[in-house]
């Protein structure tokens, strides 16, 4: 929406009142109605054509006394009549905001540009709304807080969700402005905040943006706030197994998600074998998920874009926040290096599972000790060189380690040692240079580095003395896979006017992949190395994206993404058109449509759906073609009474999908790995419903997805189509958050999903083996009706959370108590075949997570 209301809710003599803020308070009529509806017993009647009237409230008013509404309503051309508890609003004069075309009155128009930032910390505000009050038209800030506004009048208003709006009169001859918005200290229940453009106004579809504050309020698994698990609650997004943070978007695989951290690809987003994601919510500024209608500036993956922006650091003062939970603790610090010019942000997190369990195992005298830990570190430096140039340097590193140690030396002349560990982790870094070339042209140069590495090591070292008749033994096995990227890209934003914006840019990436290399050493053999060789794949793309208003009720985003890849002696090129349309059909209703083609040159060979680190990244080659998808979508969107509603239908078809052959796995990968995979195609279609409430004490959303996803491989399932493992006919999520007061917040999440598709045998037939005495039937052959032809039980779960905040002299502290799986639903994680009793063979459901309570202590200073 194009304005913000910041109105204090005062209780005086049992009456609820609005109070004037430190500056003029502006709002839309429909938001005023939404607020009154939530905080009173009145009913309403009003014509549709006054919903978007702008109200200016400069005085204290009592919502229990409708007569106090008259003055500011009349100034907006609205009359009010009261009949008991029914309020009737009517338009008393016709008022139309002037519409200025591109060609009309160019002499009077001027362009102003600048940045919108948090007035306290200096952090860029992404998506802030900057409005020309004379026309009511405006623009939103980009990823770096930059805006370019064609100004017809002389008054500019800037607003952003959760902040006090700011209005200034532009000075003649001055075109450079920087706005510092002050965060609102009022509860969301006390304000109606509508700084975001409404869902029916934006051209793009299939996109959801989440702020970390919203994510942190939801119940969490084991007390750890998880960005990826929150995204699983959105329609069109499927989760993997119980507790996993892997996501599957509109029938796609987990490798088909383009996950960007400050513009750098992240190849493995999981900690603890998929139970937690690598993203620390305290270090994040914003998360955006795009499921379809992809803008031309994105490419390289088929199914989704998850764009995560890190915090920049406080420019003005030192601050920090952290948490201590049951399995991990974290701390984030930020502050100025050179006040107002340079800032830093650093955030760290580590588990202490091994710190608690390993000493206990050693103390008990156990010969074998198991341990696990993970850590991650985020850091960023932000420097303003001058009003036109800004530099960023960001870094992320994270690592998981699972180890197993055995030691036996309690008998003379016997010294046995065994050691094994699995290590995996990411490193990403980015250098960015922002430059405002003119008031209309903004550029961003980015150099990126990304690496994901998986290592498996086992060591056996047996030493025996003279009294033991056994030779010494030493054996060491190492296995690792690796993908490493070096890239550079240049992006430009060109603002023709408030209704027309062009984006264009280029990108080049060098991928270095080692799909699987093994080495072996022993007391009898020297170092032996075998496996696949390093492969270099050079990828590039160029794009042009044009977003404009064709008519007052019609907007378009049209783009072209051209990409290519060079590997060995083979070159691939793909032209990928993109288009999104928004057609307003009523005051608050619009119809949207989109088409996008995507190409993917890097693939993931998956052993299972748990998101294990043994999954291998492999390149396109002469034999392995790039994956390609086409997706069309059609939907409707509306905003009314503080609610956003969207319904979308989509159809996606995918070619050149890749999977292991039957029986192959990551340890089988060698220099001939291309011959151990299958190629096929897939289809996915469905309908998604999303209802979201952002205003008031109670907020949240309801998401529902009906979908069907299939795969078809010539050499799998006899060449017949089969359900994808994460094909779920129904998916429901209900997310609710209620702010009791400034100190207490409660939240709940309920999810339901059709059971995962699995492959199970339906019969065991005796297999005859012959020898001199005749046939015997000790072996059995299992019969399978078809791949993924059986369903697990349906999945459902309730999570609850309550937090207690308290202001202290040094800052703020919070106690958060939660429960995962509140009614202890025994959801199946996998199915085990029990054949221990020959006459009573059966399948058993294995459930990992019953009801799990959690508690964490959080603090800010």
Q: How confident is the model at residue 529 (pLDDT cuts 50, 70, 90)?
A: low
**How high is the pLDDT of residue 784?**
73
Q: Are strands 61-62 and 166-169 parallel, antiparallel or unpaired?
A: unpaired
**How high is the pLDDT of residue 5?**
33
pLDDT reading at 95 higher than 60: no
pLDDT reading at 190 higher than 80: no
How far, in Å, are 250, 272, 451, 767 from residue 603 at the CA level? 18, 22, 15, 39
Q: How confident is the model at residue 1 (pLDDT cuts 50, 70, 90)?
A: very low
CA–CA separation, 670 and 416 (whole Å): 32
> Looking at beta carbons, which pairs linking 457-463 to residues 24 or more positions away fall under 8 Å?
457/419, 457/420, 457/421, 457/422, 457/423, 458/418, 458/419, 458/420, 459/417, 459/418, 459/419, 459/420, 460/417, 460/418, 461/416, 461/417, 461/418, 462/415, 462/416, 462/417, 463/415, 463/416
Tokens read off for 711: 């795969």
Q: In Å, how far from its chain's centre is CA 308?
A: 7
Q: What is the mean pLDDT of residues 623-641?
A: 93
Mapped onto helix, strand or coil, the DSSP state of residue 305 is strand
Q: How confident is the model at residue 542 (pLDDT cuts 50, 70, 90)?
A: very high
Q: Which residues contact 384 (CB under 8 A, 6 or more apart)?
A: 340, 341, 342, 390
- The pTM of this model reads 0.82
Q: In Å, how far from its chain's centre is CA 359?
A: 37
CA–CA separation, 611 and 810 (whole Å): 41
Q: How confident is the model at residue 775 (pLDDT cuts 50, 70, 90)?
A: low
Q: What is the mean pLDDT of residues 819-837?
A: 81
pLDDT reading at 810 higher than 50: yes
pLDDT reading at 665 higher than 70: no
CB atoms within 10 A of CB 653: 15
Assign domain 2-99 one CATH number from 1.10.3430, 1.10.1040, 2.40.128, 3.55.50: 3.55.50
Q: Which of 57-61, 73-77, 745-749 is least confident?
A: 57-61
- Tell me what the pLDDT averaged over the chain comes to: 84
Q: How confident is the model at residue 835 (pLDDT cuts 50, 70, 90)?
A: low
**How high is the pLDDT of residue 239?**
84
Instruction: Express as a percent the part of the chain with pLDDT over 70.
Output: 86
**How high is the pLDDT of residue 477?**
85
- In sequence order, what DSSP letters do the residues of 773-794 get, joined into one string? TEEEEEEEEEE-SSTT-EEPPP
586 and 553 Cβ atoms separated by less than 8 Å: no
531 phi-psi bin (left φ>0, alpha ψ -120 to 50, beta other): left
CA–CA separation, 674 and 668 (whole Å): 11
Q: How confident is the model at residue 565 (pLDDT cuts 50, 70, 90)?
A: very high
Q: How confident is the model at residue 25 (pLDDT cuts 50, 70, 90)?
A: low
Q: Which of 259-268, 425-434, 457-466 is least confident?
A: 457-466
Mapped onto helix, strand or coil, the DSSP state of residue 104 is coil
547 and 556 Cβ atoms separated by less than 8 Å: yes
688 and 234 Cβ atoms separated by less than 8 Å: no
Model confidence pLDDT, tens digit, residues 294-341: 999 999 999 999 999 999 999 999 999 999 998 899 999 999 999 989
**How high is the pLDDT of residue 221?**
81
Of the chain, the end-to-end C-alpha distance in Å amounts to 33
465 and 412 Cβ atoms separated by less than 8 Å: yes
Tokens read off for 763: 């019969």
**How high is the pLDDT of residue 357?**
77
Q: At residue 289, what are phi and psi to the nearest 5 degrees?
A: -115, 125
**How high is the pLDDT of residue 675?**
80
Q: Which residues contact 6 (CB under 8 A, 6 or more apart)?
A: 21, 25, 164, 165, 184, 186, 191, 193
Tokens read off for 98: 């002037």
**How high is the pLDDT of residue 82?**
80
718 phi-psi bin (left φ>0, alpha ψ -120 to 50, beta other): left
Q: What is the mean pLDDT of residues 761-769?
A: 69
**How high is the pLDDT of residue 713?**
94
pLDDT reading at 777 higher than 60: no
- In sequence order, what DSSP letters do the residues of 807-855 get, joined into one string? EETTEEEEEEEEEESTT-----SEEEEE-SSTT--EEEEE-----EEEE
635 and 649 Cβ atoms separated by less than 8 Å: yes
Q: What is the mean pLDDT of residues 404-416?
A: 78
Q: Which CATH class is domain 103-181?
A: mainly beta
Model confidence pLDDT, tens digit, residues 475-498: 888 888 889 999 999 999 999 999
602 and 619 Cβ atoms separated by less than 8 Å: yes
pLDDT reading at 615 higher than 80: no
Superfamily for domain range 310-756+792-860: TonB-dependent receptor, beta-barrel domain (2.40.170.20)
Tokens read off for 644: 């956003």
**How high is the pLDDT of residue 819?**
94
Mapped onto helix, strand or coil, the DSSP state of residue 242 is coil
Mapped onto helix, strand or coil, the DSSP state of residue 361 is helix
661 and 677 Cβ atoms separated by less than 8 Å: yes
Q: What is the mean pLDDT of residues 226-234?
A: 91
Q: How confident is the model at residue 671 (pLDDT cuts 50, 70, 90)?
A: low
**How high is the pLDDT of residue 527?**
63
Is 755 exposed, middle or buried, given 0-12, 13-18 or 19+ CB atoms closer than 10 A? middle
52 and 639 Cβ atoms separated by less than 8 Å: no
- In sequence order, what DSSP letters do the residues of 620-670 get, joined into one string? --SSSPPEEEEEEEEEEEEEETTEEEEEEEEEEEEEEEEEEPTT--GGG-S
**How high is the pLDDT of residue 104?**
42
- In sequence order, what DSSP letters do the residues of 429-491 get, joined into one string? EEEEEEEE-SSSEEEEEEEEEEEEEEEEEEEEEEEE-TTS-S--EEEEEEEEEEEEEEEEEEE
CA–CA separation, 189 and 35 (whole Å): 9
Q: Which residues contact 437 (CB under 8 A, 6 or more apart)?
A: 388, 443
pLDDT reading at 20 higher than 70: no
Is 613 exposed, middle or buried, given 0-12, 13-18 or 19+ CB atoms closer than 10 A? buried
**How high is the pLDDT of residue 702?**
96
Same fold, 2-99 and 310-756+792-860: no
How far, in Å, are 46, 257, 292 from residue 249 at the CA level? 41, 8, 10
546 and 559 Cβ atoms separated by less than 8 Å: yes
Model confidence pLDDT, tens digit, residues 140-180: 999 999 999 998 888 899 988 878 888 888 888 888 899 99
Domain boundaries, the chain: 2-99, 103-181, 310-756+792-860
Mapped onto helix, strand or coil, the DSSP state of residue 74 is helix
345 and 321 Cβ atoms separated by less than 8 Å: no
Q: At residue 167, what are phi and psi to the nearest 5 degrees?
A: -130, 130
Strand spans (E) along 245-367:
247-249, 257-261, 264-265, 270-271, 276-277, 284-290, 304-310, 319-324, 328-338, 342-351
Q: Which of 376-380, 607-611, 670-674 is least confident?
A: 607-611
CA–CA separation, 743 and 814 (whole Å): 9
**How high is the pLDDT of residue 290?**
96
pLDDT reading at 40 higher than 80: no
Tokens read off for 342: 């340079």
Q: Which residues pair with 405 in a beta bridge?
A: 369, 419
CA–CA separation, 270 and 257 (whole Å): 13
CA–CA separation, 637 and 555 (whole Å): 14
């Amino acid at each position: 929406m194009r304005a913000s209301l910041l109105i204090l809710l005062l209780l005086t003599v049992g009456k609820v009142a609005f109070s004037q803020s430190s500056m003029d308070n502006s709002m839309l009529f429909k938001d005023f109605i939404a607020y009154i509806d939530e905080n009173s017993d009145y009913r309403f009647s009003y014509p549709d054509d006054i919903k978007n009237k702008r109200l200016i409230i400069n005085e204290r008013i009592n919502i229990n006394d409708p007569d106090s509404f008259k003055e500011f309503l009349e100034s907006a051309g609205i009359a009010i009549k009261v009949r008991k508890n029914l309020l009737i609003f009517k338009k008393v004069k016709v008022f139309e905001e002037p519409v200025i075309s591109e060609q009309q009155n160019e002499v009077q128009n001027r362009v102003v540009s600048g940045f919108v930032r948090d007035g306290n910390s200096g952090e860029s505000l992404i998506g802030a709304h900057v409005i020309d009050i004379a026309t009511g038209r405006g623009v939103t800030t980009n990823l770096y807080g930059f805006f370019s506004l064609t100004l017809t009048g002389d008054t500019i208003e800037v607003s952003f969700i959760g902040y006090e709006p700011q209005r200034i009169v532009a000075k003649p001859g001055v075109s450079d402005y920087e706005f510092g918005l002050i965060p609102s200290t009022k509860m969301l229940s006390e304000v109606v905040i509508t700084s975001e453009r409404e869902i029916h106004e934006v051209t793009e579809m299939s996109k959801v943006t989440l702020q970390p504050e919203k994510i942190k309020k939801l119940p969490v698994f084991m007390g750890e706030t998880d960005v990826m698990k929150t995204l699983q609650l959105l329609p069109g997004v499927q989760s993997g197994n119980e507790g996993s943070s892997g996501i599957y978007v509109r029938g796609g695989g987990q490798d088909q998600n383009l996950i960007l951290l400050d513009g750098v690809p992240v190849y493995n987003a999981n900690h603890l074998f998929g139970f937690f994601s690598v993203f620390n919510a305290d270090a994040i500024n914003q998360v955006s998920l795009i499921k379809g209608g992809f803008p031309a500036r994105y490419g390289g993956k088929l199914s989704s874009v998850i764009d995560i922006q890190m915090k920049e650091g406080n420019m003005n003062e030192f601050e920090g926040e952290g948490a201590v939970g049951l399995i991990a603790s974290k701390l984030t610090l930020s502050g100025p290096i050179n006040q107002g010019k340079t800032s830093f942000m650093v955030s760290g997190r580590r588990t202490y599972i091994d710190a608690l369990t390993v000493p206990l195992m050693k103390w008990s005298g156990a010969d074998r000790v198991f341990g696990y830990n993970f850590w991650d570190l985020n850091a960023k430096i932000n420097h303003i060189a001058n009003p036109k140039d800004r530099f960023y340097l960001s870094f992320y590193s994270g690592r998981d380690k699972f180890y197993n140690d055995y030691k036996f030396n309690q008998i003379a002349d016997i010294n046995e040692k065994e050691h094994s560990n699995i290590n995996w982790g990411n490193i990403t870094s980015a250098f960015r240079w922002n430059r405002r070339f003119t008031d209309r042209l903004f550029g961003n140069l980015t150099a990126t580095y990304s690496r994901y590495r998986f290592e498996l090591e086992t060591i056996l070292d047996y030493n025996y003395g003279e009294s033991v008749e056994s030779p010494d033994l030493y054996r060491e096995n190492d296995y690792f896979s690796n993908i490493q990227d070096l890239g550079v890209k240049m992006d430009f934003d060109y603002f023709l006017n408030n209704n027309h914006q062009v984006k264009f840019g280029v990108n080049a990436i060098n991928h270095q992949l080692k799909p699987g290399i093994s080495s072996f050493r022993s007391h009898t053999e020297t170092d032996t190395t075998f496996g696949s060789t390093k492969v270099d794949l050079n990828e590039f793309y160029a794009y042009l994206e044009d977003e404009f208003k064709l008519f007052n009720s019609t907007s378009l985003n049209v783009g072209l993404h051209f990409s290519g890849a060079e590997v060995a002696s083979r070159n691939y090129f793909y032209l990928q058109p993109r288009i999104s349309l928004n057609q307003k059909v009523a005051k608050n209703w619009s119809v949207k449509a989109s088409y996008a083609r995507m190409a993917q040159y890097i693939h993931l060979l998956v052993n299972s759906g748990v998101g294990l680190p043994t999954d291998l990244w492999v390149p396109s080659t002469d034999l392995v073609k790039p994956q390609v998808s086409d997706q069309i979508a059609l939907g409707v969107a509306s905003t009314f009474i503080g609610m956003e509603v969207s319904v979308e239908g989509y159809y996606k078809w995918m070619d050149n999908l890749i999977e292991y052959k039957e029986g192959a796995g990551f340890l089988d990968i060698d220099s001939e790995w291309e011959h151990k995979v299958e190629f096929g195609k897939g289809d996915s279609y469905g309908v998604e419903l999303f209802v979201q409430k952002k205003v008031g004490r109670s907020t949240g959303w309801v998401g529902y997805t009906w979908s069907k996803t299939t795969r078809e491989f010539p050499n799998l399932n006899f060449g017949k189509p089969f359900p994808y493992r994460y094909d779920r006919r129904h998916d429901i999520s209900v997310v609710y958050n209620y702010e009791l007061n400034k100190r207490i917040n409660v939240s709940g999440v309920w999810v339901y999903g059709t059971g995962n598709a699995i492959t199970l045998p339906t019969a065991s037939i005796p297999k005859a083996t012959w020898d001199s005495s005749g046939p015997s039937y000790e072996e059995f052959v299992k019969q399978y009706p078809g791949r993924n032809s059986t369903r697990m039980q349906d999945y459902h779960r309730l999570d609850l959370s309550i937090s207690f905040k308290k202001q202290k002299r040094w800052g703020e502290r919070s106690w958060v108590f939660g429960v995962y799986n509140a009614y202890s639903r025994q959801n199946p994680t996998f199915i085990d075949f029990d054949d221990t009793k020959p006459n009573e063979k059966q399948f058993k459901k294995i459930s990992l997570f019953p009801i799990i309570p959690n508690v964490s202590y959080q603090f800010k200073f």
